[in-house]
Structure 1
Amino acid sequence: MDPTTTAAVSDHRSRRVHVLVFPYPAQGHMLPLLDLTHQLALRNVAITVLVTPKNLPILSPLLSRHPSINTLVLHFPASPAIPAGVENAKDLPASGFRVLMVALGGLQGQIVDWFRRHPSPPTAIVSDIFVGFTHRLAAEVGVPRYTFSPSGAAAMSVIFTLWREMPKRENPNDQNEIFRFPEVPNSPEFPWWQISPVYRSYVEGDPSSEFIRQMYFDNTVSYGLLFNSFSAAEGVYLDYMRKYLGNERIWSVGPLLPPDVPAERGGSGAVSASDILSWLDSAESNSVVYVCFGSQAVLTDPQMEALAAGLEKSGVNFLWSTKGPTKGHVDGEGYGTIPPGFQQRVGPRGLVIQGWVPQMLILNHPAVAAFLTHCGWNSTLEGLMAGVPLLAWPMGADQYANANLLVDEHKVAVRASQGEKAVPDSDELAGLLSKAVKEKGAEVRANALRLRTAAMDAIKDGGDSFNNLDNFVKHLYEDASEIPKVSSNSPMLSAPVPAFGA
């Protein structure tokens, strides 16, 4: 979006809005909120980004483009809850997400002190769903807090409903018990094992979960909610969230994209972008399957073997981005091992890269016919923006709801597998991969291209998401004197924010 002609901010306004942006320190959460920060900076909003030292380098592209953006660099207090030197979710197992959420609550006192010492403190806070405690922080310093969701509205409709209804299994040993959400559009249902792992931990007695339950409640009562989504993809869910929250302060502002497609976005790779693009250039149009499972998921060795066998049997060209071999954090099981001799057997039709790759550049290459993905929301949006059909293998968190949206509602994807430990049949997988690059994938490709057009229309000047960004900035400039304060007699707010590691 290029808001050079936007009327979001009138020149005559004497007081410039100042926003404290607080991302959750995991790459999949940070990048979209930093993309939103870029859009706010273009619209003349003064910004301070709160970041931990280890994540400061991720801000480099944003800061080089917007030198006026300030940073607030805070260290975690020392605690045995998190190993020394760990200040982002990348260095933790999946369960570490919950530990880190609680740890971030320990920063509240430092942030309040900073507000009170600052000569021109922020007039609003925009923070990630995983730092919901900032709602009470904002109430303490007297500014509104806006929740940013890096997940889509469909997934968050289910998540918010979970924490409101607080359902439990009738049989605590039945992992396949079905949970239904009849009030949510399209009445989704999921077996217990597909329900949010954060919620399941609460039900199963995780000691940190009361803080996390409070965090989700705080998200629902924040002054507004921003989604990295667009109405053509999730309009019914955005409407549901307005009804659920009882106000219109919901803005769909996506797909949020960087100002260009930098090869280094999110990291640096073992193989140069130019070498990858050269390999893709040698392939025919719509002949390559791109395989990647995001920044967190790591396949078990049996999954690696099944996927490798499927790729080998399919005969398709493929580019497979995978992490290096590791041992499990808890069970000691092997992860990420490429079967011996695999690269030699598939020869030049397959490019296997252990490490980070420039995903957006790859997806937008005409050689790419399909994207085998875990259905994380960032990867989903990047695939949609490229108009590439998806092969869905959801593994956790919001990914099952995302897969339903893609496969059942928009028909831009087909299911390849599901589950973080599921091992697909290699023959069936080979068949799906083969179909994805042939005429049988034409219908899904046509649907993907239609949704891509809708996404592009949303973010161009005058589109829904473009206008919503302008309207959000206008809202920030409105008189906030009537913004309600947190009720001190709310039962959900009776307990103080726990100390770090509590």
Structure 2
Amino acid sequence: MSSDSISGRSALPHIALFPFLAKGHTIPYIQLARHLRRRRLATVTFFTTRGSNAAFVRAALSASTENDDGPAPVVVVELEFPADAQGIPRGAESAERLTSAGTLAAFVHAASLLQPQLDATLQAAQATAAPVSLLVADPFLHWANASAARIGIPKVSFFGTSTFMHVMQELVPRHNPFASLHEGEWIKMATRRRWAVPEFPHIRFTFEDLIAPCGDGPSSAAAMVELGGKVQETVNGSHGLIINSFHGLEGAYIDFWNQHLGPRAWAVGPLCCLSPDQPTNGASPRPPWIEWLDSKQESGHALLYIALGTMSAIPEAQLRALADGLEWAGMGFIWPVRLKDIDLGAGFEERTKGRGLVVREWVDQPEILRHPSVRGFLTHCGWNSILEGATAGVPLAAWPMNSDQPFHAKLLVDDLRIAVRSVRTSNGTLRGPVTGQEISELVRELMLGEAGIEAAKKAAELSALAKEAMAEGGSSWKAMEEMIAVLCAKNQENS
């Protein structure tokens, strides 16, 4: 275990952050750390593991702290991930390396072996001039509740998902939709029969939406059900819940959670709405993909951005069908492809050159979405991507695949109406294949159709509300201050 010093800092509250070891979970924690520091609300210690995870965190944090006069930089503490963890690929210290839902459950268990190192670091900090006032941890790290209790500090859960998802995770089991199906019937009815929780009847799920997050096959499903139960238990056993959202986006669900479910939720987002970091070196070259976007803006082209997440392993045949659909739609696009050697079909990139760009390197997704030439977003419905799209005012087309994504797609289409619709698979299941023809029709509906125009109007309205929430005196601005006052004040008095 290695770290920067966590002692001798200011009299501000000292907040420790510990995200789950996956980029999609880590990014909002980095944004939270930046927000706390910029607003001088707290000093921050950030827990992660050595290697690529620590490098990713340090690079992201350093980009926002160079050449400023803010309080002490965020301290990064590096824990040693177990080298011999069972059930996961050797050397996998980030969930992006995993291949199935069952493997995810094993990875979550492996992360629990970090608890002694966390406990020792927190305990040592309590004997310094800057004891930890509050622990913020991902509910996948379910053992962190006990770690905080052991040293007598409050612990808040912060899960990178929507309030809508938190609410539905509580309500769906209470009403048990599967009880209405006869034995053996649920498979046959999974894609046809619809169901709604009585509290929010306008959101109607298929049974496929409800079972999709449970993974492939009985063993994966059992592992994910068990993990989901631990997550809910961890949230309910916390002193509060941080939500990366805002009242203009999810007011009904935030209010319902606080009035009927709990523990207290503080909506402090969208954290991606923070002012973009400025380059520290004005001479740094602009990435080629930004220059390409600029050229499209100058010529008046409207572009579609495609991003399907970092956790889903999409078959090569499906990516080729996506390429076919983009070509047939005839629309301009920018598409980052993670695997450099992936085959998108013979001649695809040459035939679409000029109106489309395939990028085989890291891109800054928020910067792309903020670019004026980007007018649509085909997304897997990860919560970070949804917030980035909504903040930029870009309408969406939904392609949910697993985890919380099917629930988010329902929120986008049926409630917020910032997405035209969800993609239609060939066999009616979320994991089924999607044809090039369907992609072509969906893209044209988003970029040219009446539904796309209406979704764009809604997205623009939400963008304004997001900025208002994060501005000084806005609902999210106040919620952050209130959370720290409620949870950190008593600890500071006792320190």
Q: Which TM-score band applies after superposition, normalised by the shorter structure?
A: 0.7 to 0.9
Match of 1:27 in 2: 23
Uncovered stretches (5+) of structure 2, i.e. residues with no partner: 1-9, 280-284
Q: Distance between the aligned counterparts of 1:204 and 1:350, measured in 2? A: 38
Q: 2:490 aligns with which of 460, 479, 484?
A: 479
1:458: Cα distance to partner? 0.9
Contact 2:214 2:220 in 1 (8 A): no
Q: 1:48 aligns with which of 45, 48, 52?
A: 45
Query: In structure 1, the residue corresponding to 2:197 is in which secondary structure?
Result: coil
Partner deviation per Cα, 1:445-480 (whole Å, 9 max, x = no partner): 111111111111111111111111121222233325
Match of 1:443 in 2: 454
Match of 1:315 in 2: 330
- Cα 1:15–1:184 shift into 2, 3 Å: farther
The correspondence of residues 332-347 of structure 1 with structure 2, limited to 5 A, is 336-347=342-353
1:325: Cα distance to partner? 6.8
Match of 2:123 in 1: 116
- Cα 1:325–1:113 shift into 2, 3 Å: same
- Cα 1:168–1:143 shift into 2, 3 Å: farther
1:352: Cα distance to partner? 1.0
Q: Distance between the aligned counterparts of 1:58 and 1:112, measured in 2? A: 23
- Cα 1:160–1:203 shift into 2, 3 Å: farther
1:429 maps onto 2:412 in alignment: no
- Cα 1:239–1:93 shift into 2, 3 Å: same
The correspondence of residues 91-240 of structure 1 with structure 2, limited to 5 A, is 91-95=97-101, 96-118=103-125, 119-120=127-128, 121-162=131-172, 171=183, 174-175=186-187, 176-177=189-190, 180-186=195-201, 187-192=203-208, 194-195=210-211, 197-198=213-214, 206=222, 210=226, 213-240=229-256
1:423: Cα distance to partner? 2.5
Of stretches 278-287 and 337-346 in structure 1, the one that deviates more from structure 2 is 278-287
- Aligned amino acid, residue 242 of structure 2: L
1:36: Cα distance to partner? 0.9
1:101: Cα distance to partner? 1.3
Of stretches 255-264 and 80-89 in structure 1, the one that deviates more from structure 2 is 255-264
- Aligned amino acid, residue 227 of structure 1: I
Query: In structure 2, the residue corresponding to 1:229 is in which secondary structure?
Result: coil
Query: In structure 2, the residue corresponding to 1:21 is in which secondary structure?
Result: strand
Match of 2:465 in 1: 454
Q: Distance between the aligned counterparts of 1:384 and 1:443, measured in 2? A: 14
Contact 1:23 1:29 in 2 (8 A): yes
Contact 1:289 1:437 in 2 (8 A): yes
Query: In structure 2, the residue corresponding to 1:151 is in which secondary structure?
Result: coil
Q: Distance between the aligned counterparts of 2:422 and 2:221, measured in 1? A: 33
Match of 1:500 in 2: none
Partner deviation per Cα, 1:170-210 (whole Å, 9 max, x = no partner): 54684444684525534542324643635888987746865
- Aligned amino acid, residue 389 of structure 2: G
Uncovered stretches (5+) of structure 1, i.e. residues with no partner: 1-13, 265-271, 327-335, 484-502
1:367: Cα distance to partner? 1.1
Query: In structure 2, the residue corresponding to 1:282 is in which secondary structure?
Result: helix
Q: 1:287 aligns with which of 296, 302, 305?
A: 302
- Cα 1:124–1:80 shift into 2, 3 Å: closer
Match of 1:372 in 2: 378
- Cα 1:422–1:262 shift into 2, 3 Å: farther
Query: In structure 1, the residue corresponding to 2:354 is in which secondary structure?
Result: helix
Q: Distance between the aligned counterparts of 2:218 and 2:474, measured in 1? A: 40
- Aligned amino acid, residue 401 of structure 1: F
- Cα 1:433–1:424 shift into 2, 3 Å: same
- Cα 1:204–1:347 shift into 2, 3 Å: closer
Structure (1 or 2) with the greater helix fraction: 2
- Cα 1:310–1:204 shift into 2, 3 Å: closer
1:438: Cα distance to partner? 3.0
Match of 2:291 in 1: 278
Q: Distance between the aligned counterparts of 1:199 and 1:115, measured in 2? A: 35
Match of 1:267 in 2: none
Q: Distance between the aligned counterparts of 1:450 and 1:259, measured in 2? A: 18
- Aligned amino acid, residue 226 of structure 1: I
- Aligned amino acid, residue 109 of structure 1: P
- Cα 1:166–1:193 shift into 2, 3 Å: same
1:285: Cα distance to partner? 4.0
TM-score (norm: length of structure 1): 0.82
- Aligned amino acid, residue 18 of structure 2: F
Contact 2:16 2:44 in 1 (8 A): yes
1:127: Cα distance to partner? 0.7
Contact 2:13 2:492 in 1 (8 A): no
- Cα 1:193–1:471 shift into 2, 3 Å: closer
1:245 maps onto 2:261 in alignment: yes
Percent identity over paired residues: 30
Contact 2:171 2:197 in 1 (8 A): no
1:410: Cα distance to partner? 1.7
1:77 maps onto 2:92 in alignment: no
Of stretches 343-352 and 147-156 in structure 1, the one that deviates more from structure 2 is 343-352
1:107: Cα distance to partner? 1.7
1:109: Cα distance to partner? 2.1
Q: Distance between the aligned counterparts of 1:319 and 1:473, measured in 2? A: 41
- Aligned amino acid, residue 58 of structure 1: F
Q: Distance between the aligned counterparts of 1:205 and 1:374, measured in 2? A: 21
Match of 1:497 in 2: none
Q: 2:93 aligns with which of 46, 66, 87?
A: 87
Q: Distance between the aligned counterparts of 1:147 and 1:78, measured in 2? A: 27
Q: Distance between the aligned counterparts of 1:124 and 1:165, measured in 2? A: 35
Contact 1:303 1:422 in 2 (8 A): no
Contact 1:135 1:219 in 2 (8 A): no
Q: Distance between the aligned counterparts of 2:402 and 2:278, measured in 1? A: 28
Q: Distance between the aligned counterparts of 2:349 and 2:492, measured in 1? A: 64
1:129: Cα distance to partner? 2.4
